[in-house]
Amino acid sequence: QVQLVQSGAEVKKPGASVKVSCKASGYSFTDYYMHWVRQAPGQGLEWMGWINPNSGGTKYAQKFQGRVTMTRDTSISTAYMEVSRLRSDDTALYFCAREKPGDGLDVWGQGTTVTVSS
Amino acid sequence: DIQMTQSPSSLSASVGDRITITCRASQGISNYLAWYQQKPGKVPNLLISAASTLQSGVPSRFSGSGSGTDFTLTISSLQPEDVATYYCQKYNGAPYTFGQGTKLEIK
């Protein structure tokens, strides 16, 4: 079945970086854009950006420009999202989600908790 | 950037009630609008795409309508399992902004 499996929870200190992985299975990884969405505790969904796994092209929300990097490894059908210069307000649940062309985000990973604390 | 505004932010209704959630875009987005349901402690689930297309497996009591700037999500007969937060999202180009969410509870 189609699924996205994310890496485990992370605890980081302010100023550090974190890299979250998202392994796809059950479909052709390069055929669907991969998005990243985060959700701070008790808050709503915040779109961070997407990566085109075929070309490696990316598009980031302006808020994250210069601090977020999305990459992929097509040989293992895995997308990555790295956030640098972490702050306490980056504490959140981070999701990867597949974009069904013209239809929105139809498959989601289970989420990765990132906690930023000194 | 286009802003997405949902109303109400929270809603309490009785089982069997018809409920409507509204999502307004600050500029026209044609029908590039999706609705998601997020139950407590769970991953968001795509309910409706293209403003009105119900995803496979979603109960028929859910429906969506609208185009341009004004959209609605309707539950024709509220069930206990519908307790969740509902989000709209535009996807006519980046940024793929979400509405702030509508928390639905049972009276």
Alpha-carbon gap, residue B49 to A68, rounded angstroms: 28
Q: What is the pLDDT of residues B11-56, one digit of tens each?
A: 999 999 999 999 999 999 999 999 999 999 999 999 999 999 999 9
Side chain identity at residue B38, one-letter code: Q
B100 Cβ under 8 Å from any chain A Cβ: yes
Q: How many angstroms separate the CA of residue A8 from the nearest CA in chain B?
A: 15
Q: How many angstroms separate the CA of residue A49 from the nearest CA in chain B?
A: 7
Residue of A nearest to B49 (CA): A103
User: Which candidate, B10, B3, B13, B42, places its Cα nearest to that of B106?
Assistant: B13
Closest CB to A47 among B46, B49, B98:
B98
Alpha-carbon gap, residue A43 to B98, rounded angstroms: 12
Closest CB to A47 among B43, B95, B100:
B95
B92 Cβ under 8 Å from any chain A Cβ: no
Alpha-carbon gap, residue A107 to B6, rounded angstroms: 23
**What pLDDT score does A106 carry?**
96
- Tell if the CB–CB gap between A105 and B44 is shorter than 8 Å: yes
Q: How many angstroms separate the CA of residue B18 from the nearest CA in chain A?
A: 24
pLDDT of residue A2 exceeding 90, the answer is: yes
Closest CB to B46 among A37, A50, A106:
A106
Q: How many angstroms separate the CA of residue A58 from the nearest CA in chain B?
A: 11
Alpha-carbon gap, residue B49 to B57, rounded angstroms: 13
Q: What is the pLDDT of residues B58-87, one digit of tens each?
A: 999 999 999 999 999 999 999 999 999 999
Alpha-carbon gap, residue B30 to B49, rounded angstroms: 12
First to last CA, chain A: 40
**What pLDDT score does A48 carry?**
98
Side chain identity at residue B80, one-letter code: P
DSSP label at residue B33: E
**What pLDDT score does A103 carry?**
87
Q: Which residues of A touch B53 (CB under 8 A)?
A: 103
Q: What is the pLDDT of residues A45-103, one digit of tens each?
A: 999 999 999 999 999 999 999 999 999 999 999 999 999 999 999 999 999 999 988 88
**What pLDDT score does A91 carry?**
98
Q: What is the pLDDT of residues A7-40, one digit of tens each?
A: 999 999 999 999 999 999 999 999 999 999 999 9
**What pLDDT score does A102 carry?**
81
Q: Are A106 and A2 in contact (CB under 8 A)?
A: no
Q: Which residues of A touch B94 (CB under 8 A)?
A: 49-50, 59, 61
Is the previous residue joined to B8 through a cis bond, with omega within 30 degrees of 0?
A: yes
